[in-house]
Amino acid sequence: MDEKNSLVESAATQTPTPATPTHKAIKKKSTIVKLVLIGVALLIGMIFAFVPMQFGLTNYHPFLSAESISLGLDLKGGVYAVYQATNTDTDNFETKMEGTRSALQSMLSDKGYTEATIVREGDSRIRVEVPDVDDPSEILRIIGQPTSVRFVLDESGETVITGENVVNADAGYDAQSGYVVRLVLDAEGRKKFADATAANIDKTMSIYLGDSEKPISSPTINSAIPNGEAIITGFASYEDAQERAGQIMSGTFDVSLELKESNTISPTLGENAMFYGLIAGVVGFVLVIAFLCAVYRLLGVAASFALLIYLVLYLFFLAALPWVQLTLPGIAGILLSIGMAVDANIVIFERIKDEYREGKSIMAAYHAGFKKALFAILDSNVTTVIACILLMLLGTGSVGGFALTLLVGVIISLFTALVVSRLIVKYFINLNSYNAKLYNLKRGKNYVGLSADATDSAILAEMEREAAKKEEAKQEKERAKQARKLKPDNGGESA
């Protein structure tokens, strides 16, 4: 019995066998497989990002193409116009300005210009930008000279309805009447129009813009119109009908607008800007990768892979997000976000070098470096995110484009630096955690003779203990859950 007891005590108190050195314990085959899978996924992503393809009768446009990424006015060419509100002293001016901006947006979208950008400039101006326009004067004809509109009975001089009652006016074709302008009125306008047309059949109703004494049209009332939907006939072509519809719609805005500035931008300028911007991006990207690989060696190679993954993800989101419109300042935002992605990796790698210099093994320095650099990276990027959001809320035009591309880039760079880079560096260290030269790591004076993986066995043992504690806690929680299920119900009457 004593002998048995003695044997039990000896087994319980014996010193654990030292763990096998890391570079012998790691399953290198699984690590290589994971790295190969990452490489294959990256290669597929690069193909979809840069290579146009054809699937049967369908043409695939890569992420980095004008067909996938919406280009702004400065890159694609087009027309812009700036309008000034003339009645700024009206009640609820801010609400009316926003309503006018929304009406302009809807008008251009209905005409097929879905990429048109309409933004406020200051308190009393609205800027309209329409990229990729073959005939810029057509946009100005559609928008017209925004002003008030009045429908007036010629006989009595009574104003029946105004632009506030017109919901929509567009050009169309009718089999009996030819080219027409269709009008849709709101509820108030429908009643007034019904009463006026019923009482004035065969009489004329003129349409006036602003304070002009000359009408743009004087159609004859052929019948009562009770449903608030009317057509104006007598146009020689669809273009004539469309111009008249645009003039009527120009009077539906909540405030009167005066054209202050308009101009066209040649697409040639945009093509050159895009070309040189891409060259700058490629050259900068190659130089960054060369710098990382030269200074940090395998750590730099890992960061380079992460940056390529970052680039693919970035281009994908630029193409997928519908509100992203790439402008020349937007390209600057992309290049700046690439620099910030590199900055995060450098902060981490320098921390790893510091930890290794102070006596930690490569593996321990890796864990400590990422952990201690986390908050510094988050702090710097969070401030940038806040600045981007403020620029998007308060800025207009190209400033908003710059802020949006930078914001998307910063968020993706955080993911690639803290997740993708960490995984790839981990796999590289799994393959070799005993050769510090591969990572350009050097010991401090007090630790010159210490091997690169001197403490890895202790780290592995600690990781195993932490995993065992987590597993034990999980099992304990499961046992407690089962115990609660099996516990008899003490409520109710006793048998």
Q: What is the DSSP string of 225-253?
A: --SSEEEEEEESSHHHHHHHHHHHHTT-S
How much is the pLDDT for 321? 83
What three-state secondary structure class fits 90?
coil
- Global pTM exceeds 0.95: no
Tokens 């349409």, located at residue? 207
Write 17-20 long-range contacts (CB < 8 A, 24+). Answer: 18/457, 19/457, 19/458, 19/460, 19/461, 19/464, 20/457
- SS3 assignment, position 265: strand
Look at residues 143, 258, 144, 147 and name the one whose alpha carbon lies nearest to residue 210. Answer: 147
Residue stretches of the chain with pLDDT short of 70: 1-27, 114, 134-136, 142, 144-147, 250, 254, 267-271, 396-398, 454-463, 487-495
* pLDDT reported for residue 132: 72
Tokens representing 465 are 């203990």
Residue 148: name the closest of 255, 259, 243 by CA: 255
H or E segment and range at residue 195 = helix 187-199
Dihedral of alpha carbons 277, 281, 287, 288, sign? positive
For strands 70-71 and 325-326, give the pairing. parallel
The secondary structure of residue 164, as a DSSP letter, is G
pLDDT of residue 310: 93
Distance of CA 163 to the CA centre of its chain: 37
